Amino acid sequence: MSDKLASRKVTLMPGSGVNPGANLGVGRAMVGLLCGLWFAASHAATPTEADEMVNVDGAVVCEQADAEVEQPRRRPNYPVLVYEADPCNPNRLPTPRAMLLPDLAPVPDRWRIVDALGYEENLWDPYNNNNPIKGDRPVFGKDWFVNLSVISDTVVEPRRFPIPVGAATTAGSGDLDLVAAGDTYLVNENLIVEGVLYKGDTVFRPPDHEFRVITAININHTVADEIGALKADPAQGDTRTEGYVGLQGAFWDYHIRNVSDRYDFDSFRIGIQPFSSDFRGFLFQDNQLGVRLFGTRNNNIFQYNLAWFRRLEKESNSGLNDITDDLRKDDIFIANLYWQDFPSKGFISQASIIHNRNRESSDFFFDDNQFIARPSSLGFERGRDYDVTYLGVSGDGHFGRNNLTYSAYYALGDQSNGVFTNQNTDVNAYFVAAEVSRDYDWIRAKASLLHSSGDDNPLDQRETGFDAIFENPQFAGGDTAFFIRQNVPLIGGGRVALNGRNSIIPSLRSSKEHGQSNFTNPGITVLGVGADFDLTPQTRLSLNFNQMWFDDTSSLELARNQSKVGKNIGQDLSAAMIWRPFASQNIVFRLSGAVLNPGSGFKDLYGQTRPYSVLANLVLAY
């Protein structure tokens, strides 16, 4: 029986049913049925006769044979077989002929395909398929590529936070208080130019060599309502305009070897390079001079880093690296390991050991505005040497529909002098932070918790206030939140800040950029909720609410010589609108606002004030 016959449907001719009263034996019926089927098959149309594909002028035509097979005579009590032909698609392609494919012509490189397709070179279009300065084709040799990026980052920021009344003179001659209103206005422009020269592939394995240079050109203009807030010299007035060019990256990356057929590798990098100690930048996130050995194992399941950094000084007003100054005597040694899909798929776990060795006890350093930065003007105002080791675990990913990010650090070590004592002290402090979120279509709801331990007795030999090395937290609203964004000074307690700019820990440092870590601080607890709303593919609205408390106010009371400081910092409310008109990162506009509703602790330090922050940020990227 042919395949065509076997695939056809058998039906009964109308009026020819089986007579249930027929007295036929089972054996006779089976023999008769088999004979009938054999006879019908031998006289049925062959597949080439029933369904023949005829190609006429490129068109496929289908010829179908009669569906009913005629029999020479009808057998009583047996059905007449009727065959339904397979449907024929007249638009289908003809069956290919059985022949060998022609020889394939090898293409030596991918950019020749771009030339063959007729794409013209266009240096202005970053998405053009034939742009040599975007790595689309080699600039010289067989596999040397160039990638050039230019970013303009413009910030306009009106704000209000407490600042001290000028010591020598003041702009508010009628004020009797020590705390000025603190209205300031900032315009900041960064033009970042990044050039990369690399050799080799970038898709399946790292390039063989990579040379990267990142230059930032900064112009900033600040206006304050108080003399002495911007410059130590009162003659400089209440306005400051500065410009600076900083080197934010300059390194060589060498691909040492591949260690598996899945392109697991070992690489070496030396120079000024970016590094983040964890997923949210809680402990150390900066571009610093260092040496780094890194790579992957087991099909990229494991990723490791071994690094040593020696910190560069910063330009005080722009925050950019100052390579013209001497290197700081501040070393950071890092070893960490990432484990993908652990403990479950979709989650990345990390363990790290970070050691901070500081030998700046003999330094006397003034920043670019002539304010003392090292040693800090707090307590005995003495320089310190310290060795502190951070043991940390972090994770980022999801469990089903629930997203989780967390970090935990324990700091232990010793330092030569305490801030408020003349004796050597031991450091024992801890830090934990976690954010849980869940997506509901175009809405992401999130809740966050952070705790940084504070020092409960500044006069003993045990310092329990946690402090980071150089933090930049993307957490609880990030730089949209007032308390994280603004640098609030500790007025009447020394020339230090309650917290630094883009910092969440109230570390009482002289400055985030120049100061030493301080483990005699009040610590903080943050409980936050928020939500992100993707209103359109181009527009996102973010809302955040954070309740904040000091962990222990003993250090604040001692620094201020104040009997009682409450723990309640207050409620930080912020909102941000992000608009990407082309649904890409080439043009990003952000408008945000934040206000701090002060609690008892903030009022005890600064009185009845309601600080706020407004941020307009435009990023243009090529």
Residue owning tokens 């500081």: 358
Q: How far is residue 269's CA from residue 613's CA, in Å, rounded to a whole number?
A: 39
**With 90 as the cut, is the pLDDT of residue 52 above it?**
no
Across 348-370, average pLDDT = 96
By percentage, how much of the chain surpasses pLDDT 70?
82
pLDDT score recorded for residue 177: 58
Q: What CA–CA distance (Å, rounded) separates 142 from 598?
A: 63
The model's confidence at residue 5, banded by pLDDT at 50, 70 and 90, is very low
* Cα 64 to the center of its chain, rounded Å: 63
Tell me if residue 182 falls in helix, strand or coil. coil
Instruction: Write out the two tokens for 619.
Output: 């990023």
The 10s digit of each residue's pLDDT in 526-541 is 999 999 999 999 999 9
Query: Is it the case that residue 502 has pLDDT exceeding 80?
Result: yes
pLDDT of residue 74 exceeding 90: no
Q: Give residue 86's pLDDT.
A: 67
The H-assigned helical ranges of 44-110 are: 47-50
The predicted model gives 372-384 an average pLDDT of: 92
User: Cα dist. 609→496, 502, 546, 567 in Å?
Assistant: 20, 21, 18, 17
Contacts of 73 (CB under 8 A, 6+ apart): none
- Token pair of 326, please? 């001497």
pLDDT of 346 strictly over 50: yes
* Short-list 111, 107, 64, CA closest to 84: 64
Spatial CA neighbour of 217 closest among 248, 191, 195, 193:
191
In the prediction, which pLDDT does 7 show? 38
Q: What is the pLDDT of residues 329-338, one digit of tens each?
A: 999 999 999 9
Average pLDDT, the chain: 86
Task: Name the band, by pLDDT with cuts 50, 70 and 90, for residue 165.
Answer: confident
Given this model, what pLDDT does residue 49 score? Answer: 39
Could you check whether the bond before residue 162 is cis, i.e. omega within 30 degrees of 0? no
pLDDT value of position 437: 98
pLDDT surpasses 70 at 175: no
DSSP secondary structure of 466-529: ---SB-----TTGGGSHHHHS-EE-TTS-B-EEE-TT--S----S-TTTPPP-S-S--EEEEEE
Instruction: Give the rounded distance of the alpha carbon of 469 from its chain centre.
Output: 20
Span 210-229, mean pLDDT?
Answer: 95
Element (H, E) at 582: none
Q: Which range is least confidently modeled, 129-138, 187-196, 406-415, 505-514?
A: 129-138
Give me the mean pLDDT over the 413-421 stretch. 93
Identify the pLDDT of residue 69: 45
Single-letter code of the amino acid located at 571: Q
Domains recognised in the chain with CATH numbers: 1-93 (no CATH), 144-621 (2.40.160.100)
Predicted local confidence at residue 85, as pLDDT: 63
pLDDT band at 584 (very low <50, low <70, confident <90, very high): very high
Q: What is the mean pLDDT of residues 74-93?
A: 69
- Chain position carrying tokens 């009938």: 36
Q: At CB < 8 A and 24+ separation, what contacts does 57-61 make?
A: 59/90, 60/90, 60/91, 60/92, 60/93, 60/94, 61/90
